[in-house]
Amino acid sequence: MATTTSRDTAAVPTHADAGTPSSCQPSLAVTAAGCLRLEPSHFTNHRVDLDSLDYDPGTRKQIWEYHVNQHDEIRRAYITKGPHQPPLKKNKKSGMHNRSFQASWFEYNKSWLEYSPTTDMAYCLPCFVFHSPNGVVGQNKFTVGGFRNWKKVGGKDCYLQGHIGKDPNSAHRVAEQMCKDLMNQSQHLQRVVNHFTTEQIANNRLQLKASIFIVRYLAFQAIAFRG
Ligand SMILES: [Zn+2]
């Protein structure tokens, strides 16, 4: 059964909003299927504008810190944007061995590796997207704290490869799969909604024509409306 996500909704003010503080009133949301849904005020008041999301992995908030109803749409926004891989300034050295993050590491880890010039640390997008404070999925070093031990990148025991893991069920691979599933689910739902809308419009028009015909017939015949 198709479900409606909060991204597919648009909040509109209720009549009760007029002249009252917005913090006291719930608002109506229009779902993608054209239905109205009442959003509690504690949610609408804390809704985050997706355009205002911070994409710097060194300064962004964790997704679990947002309202739970918005988690999936925020996740999709980060996945759609892709890993934060800004152009790097040359000769920026850091760490115990005076090394620096290398742009070439992006090429070999294009789908996940991120770098923050703000903190001069590396992060992982999929693990960040599904990171939880309980630590069930993801690894804190690449999600919250950041990784900067550049000496451990490369070679037989490359830390980046270690993060991916050889096990098909490693935390990183599970997070990657969850990202794919979330995006596939979103596309599937959009197709269902699009299909439903076209079909529903045709059905609604037919029902409206039939209703008008019946009302006019009953009115002309002076027959009471029943049922
Ligand atoms: Zn990861």
Tell me the domain boundaries of the chain. 84-179
Span 10-15, mean pLDDT? 41
Q: How far is the CA of 82 from the centre of ligand 1 (A)?
A: 13
Instruction: Compute the distance from residue 173 Cα to the ligand 1 centre, in Å.
Output: 7
The C-alpha atoms of residue 225 and residue 205 are separated, in whole angstroms, by 21
Apex 12 CA angle, 8 and 14, nearest 5? 140
Distance (angstroms) between ligand 1 centre and the Cα of 171 equals 7
User: What is the spatial order of strands in the sheet that 27-30 belongs to?
Assistant: 10-12, 27-30, 36-39
CA of 191 to the centre of ligand 1 (A): 30
Find the range with the poorest average confidence among 35-49, 130-144, 162-176.
35-49
Ligand 1 centroid–CA 79 distance in Å is 13
Q: Spell 160-189 as b/e; 16+ CB within 10 A means b.
A: beebbeeeeeebbebbbebbeeeeeebeeb
Q: What confidence score (pLDDT) does residue 58 get?
A: 96
Of the spans 21-35, 100-114, 124-138, which averages the highest pLDDT? Answer: 100-114
Average pLDDT of 158-174? 93
| The pairing of beta strand 10-12 with beta strand 27-30 | antiparallel
> C-alpha angle 120/92/79, rounded to 5°?
40
Mean pLDDT of 163-186: 92
**Pick the residue with more confidence: 36 or 50?**
50
pTM over 0.75: no
**Best CA proximity match to 58, nearest among 159, 179, 142:** 142
The CA 175 to ligand 1 mean position distance, Å, reads 7
Q: Judge whether residue 39 has pLDDT over 70.
A: no
pLDDT at position 21 is 41
User: Which pLDDT band holds residue 45 (cuts at 50, 70, 90)?
Assistant: low
Measure the CA–CA gap between 18 and 47, rounded to whole angstroms. 20
CA distance 78 to 148: 22
Q: How far apart are CA 11 and CA 112, in angstroms?
A: 33
What value does the mean pLDDT of the chain take?
79
Q: How remote is the CA of residue 172 from the centroid of ligand 1, in Å? A: 4
pLDDT above 90 covers what percent of the chain? Answer: 47
182, two tokens: 């979330």
